[in-house]
């Protein structure tokens, strides 16, 4: 049995992985899908101080409480920032990392520095609180504002990712240029990575369910 820890992207809760989690559990695996502080059903905890470090702490606390070892961490979009830091902080509890059309930061990077001008415009359009980035119109109707500070805060890493099994999943169906193209181009020529190109939109959980099940099962291959 493998333990999968699936981390959602901006504005979404762990429910975005419901179908994927059910498929993995049907194969006999344990799946955790935490919702990050200040987002979705935890939106009532939002405040100006919620940042990337808050979300890293969320996941580490969940993994420690659940006695998780040898985990496959998968992050969608913004979730790539979180799983990178979690693996860096508690490497003995992590076996593999899977990035689902997600950011792969190096020390000192932030979502803001890794993304493009279109995403910058979205982040800058904060809601009336001054610290919440509102969900885009096509998001799931359960989506809520996302803490701006988590998108701006630089990540602090002590090591690289070479000790882990690494998979990157790239979605091709973006309107215009994908904000993840630069990340994908960086990892696809690195022999440490297995890369996968899928003919789906950014919401790969919806468009490429079977492909993700296959890739995630493969990430637990030892």
pTM: 0.97
Catalytic residue among 77, 96, 150, 210: 77
110 is catalytic: no
The token pair that represents 217 in the structure block: 């099962």
* Region at 204 (left for phi over 0; alpha for psi -120 to 50; beta for the rest): alpha
What is the domain range of residue 88? 3-219
User: What is the rounded (10 degree) CA torsion for 58, 60, 64, 69?
Assistant: 140
pLDDT in tens, 191-220: 999 999 999 999 999 999 999 999 999 999
Q: Which one, of 124, 121, 93, 119, lies nearest residue 183 by Cα?
A: 119
Q: Which one, of 132, 167, 169, lies nearest residue 149 by Cα?
A: 132
Q: What is the CATH number of the domain that holds 60?
A: 3.40.50.1820
Residue 49, number of CB atoms within 10 A of its CB: 11
**Structural domains in the chain (count):** 1
pLDDT in tens, 83-129: 999 999 999 999 999 999 999 999 999 999 999 999 999 999 999 99
């Amino acid at each position: 049995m493998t333990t999968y820890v699936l981390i959602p992207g901006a504005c979404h809760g762990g429910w975005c992985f419901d179908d994927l989690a059910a498929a993995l559990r049907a194969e006999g695996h344990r799946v955790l899908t935490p919702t990050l502080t200040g987002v979705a059903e935890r939106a009532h905890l939002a405040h100006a101080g919620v940042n990337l470090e808050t979300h890293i702490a969320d996941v580490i606390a969940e993994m420690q409480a659940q006695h998780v070892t040898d985990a496959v961490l998968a992050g969608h979009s913004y979730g790539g920032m979180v799983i990178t830091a979690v693996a860096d902080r508690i490497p003995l509890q992590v076996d593999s990392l899977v990035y689902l059309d997600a950011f792969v930061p190096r020390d000192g990077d932030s979502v803001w520095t890794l993304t493009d001008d279109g995403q910058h415009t979205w982040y800058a359009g904060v809601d009336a609180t001054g610290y919440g980035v509102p969900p885009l119109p096509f998001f799931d109707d359960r989506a809520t504002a996302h803490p701006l500070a988590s998108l701006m805060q630089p990540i602090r890493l002590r090591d690289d990712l070479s000790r882990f099994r690494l998979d990157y999943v790239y979605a091709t169906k973006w309107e215009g240029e994908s904000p993840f193209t630069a990340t994908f181009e960086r990892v696809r020529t690195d022999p440490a990575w297995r890369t996968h190109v899928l003919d789906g939109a950014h919401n790969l959980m919806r468009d490429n369910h079977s492909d993700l099940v296959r890739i995630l099962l493969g990430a637990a291959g030892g």
